[in-house]
Amino acid sequence: MNQRINNLLNNQLANWELARANYTALSGVRVKELDVNGILYKVQFNPARIVSSGAKVDARSIKERSCFLCPANRPPVQKGIPFEGHYDILMNPFPIFPRHLTIPEQAHVEQRIVTRFGDMLSLAQLLTDYTIFYNGPRCGASAPDHAHFQAGSKGFMPIEKDWHRLVAGKVADYRNATLWYLDDAPRTTLVIDSPDKDAAAALFGIVYHSLPVSSGEEEPMLNLLTLYESGRWTVFIFPRAKHRPACYLAEGEENLLCSPASVDLGGVFITPVEKDFLKITAEDVAQILSEVCLSADAFGRVRERIMNSLIP
């Protein structure tokens, strides 16, 4: 499958002018590194990502636009590979990663993870060159009305290699899976580690049902990263408290167009506007994370609920 995807990407680059231009530009994006409480974060200046970072995701805007993930509305030049009979693996024409995929459900159904998490684990096992990610409907998804995953080149996000040294403790063992929590405040991170797909899925279900759900919402606010390596799944769970930070809508010098999603929480902040790339500091990143992630107290309560749910 990895080779089939490489062939697809090469074909798309040869035949899709928009995608070719954006991937060519990606090779020249500027990146800087910031130390946020001893943790490395990268900041990428990527103008093409304004499509996602600036996306209007209110109900009215979504209703008034055509869904760009529906097969009927995709550019004729965009080709895909079927997966599980009801997803398509597509090139993302607005890349963050050297190889960036979007994997939408073929049917137009809302972005929800609870019944699709097993599909995410299967994708990670199949696409071993990639890390799979999921953005909740109010957690950075630019198409909250259409179920989809994304995938990017494995090893691109700092958390993928850093998480072991950041482990603060074990929340629980469940069947053949372990749930850890990280010492990475103001980010709040849970990690499932397991060689057993069914155990990982069952433990995720317990975590999912232990997360707070805001009034009027159907799903807890969260972002997910999943990868498969050496016979084991690693799942990063980022519980959320807020969709966008105050700086997103601020005026004047206080404005910073940042709408954090899975990749940002994985350690690569995306700035589509040059002035934001130039001015963003480690203190800004820490402030943004403190707003969109759970507070320390709320994170502690989540861990307690998980442990209590596992008591016989």
Closest CA to 184 of 281, 39, 294: 39
Q: Is residue 168 part of a domain?
A: yes
> What pLDDT, on a 0 to 100 scale, did the predictor assign at position 141?
84
> What pLDDT, on a 0 to 100 scale, did the predictor assign at position 194?
98
To 5 degrees, how large is the angle CA 174–CA 177–CA 180? 90
> What pLDDT, on a 0 to 100 scale, did the predictor assign at position 312?
67
Joined together, the tokens standing for residue 290 give: 């403190």
Into how many domains does the chain fold?
1
Cα separation, 270 vs 257, in Å, equals 9
> What pLDDT, on a 0 to 100 scale, did the predictor assign at position 47?
86
Q: Is residue 164 part of a domain?
A: yes
Q: Is 283 exposed, middle or buried (0-12, 13-18, 19+ CB in 10 A)?
A: exposed
- Report which residue type is found at 46: N
- Sign of the torsion formed by the C-alpha atoms of 197, 239, 220 and 56: negative
pLDDT mean by block of 10 residues, the chain; 312 residues: 96 97 90 97 89 63 86 96 97 96 97 97 98 94 93 98 97 96 98 98 97 90 98 98 94 92 97 94 98 97 95 72
Q: What is the CA radius of gyration of the chain?
A: 19
Q: Is residue 183 part of a domain?
A: yes
Q: Is residue 293 part of a domain?
A: yes
7-41 residues labelled b (16+ CB within 10 A) or e (exposed): ebbeebbeebeebeebbeebeebeeeebebeebeb
User: What DSSP character marks residue 138?
Assistant: T
Using one digit for the tens of pLDDT, what is the confidence trace for 62-94?
777 899 999 999 999 999 999 999 999 999 999
**Domain CATH for 217:** 3.30.428.70
pTM for this one?
A: 0.95
Which H/E stretch holds residue 83? Answer: strand 80-83
Beta bridge partners of 45: 30, 271
> What pLDDT, on a 0 to 100 scale, did the predictor assign at position 217?
85
Q: Is residue 204 part of a domain?
A: yes
Q: Is residue 81 part of a domain?
A: no
Using one digit for the tens of pLDDT, what is the confidence trace for 208-218?
999 999 888 88
> What pLDDT, on a 0 to 100 scale, did the predictor assign at position 228?
98
- Indicate the pairing of strand 130-135 with strand 148-153: antiparallel
Could you tell me the residue range of the domain that residue 202 belongs to?
30-69+106-309
Can you list the positions of beta strands (E) in 114-253? Answer: 130-135, 148-153, 167-174, 177-182, 190-194, 222-229, 232-239
Q: Is residue 177 part of a domain?
A: yes
Q: Is residue 199 part of a domain?
A: yes
> What pLDDT, on a 0 to 100 scale, did the predictor assign at position 57?
57
Joined together, the tokens standing for residue 9 give: 């990407």
> What pLDDT, on a 0 to 100 scale, did the predictor assign at position 54?
56
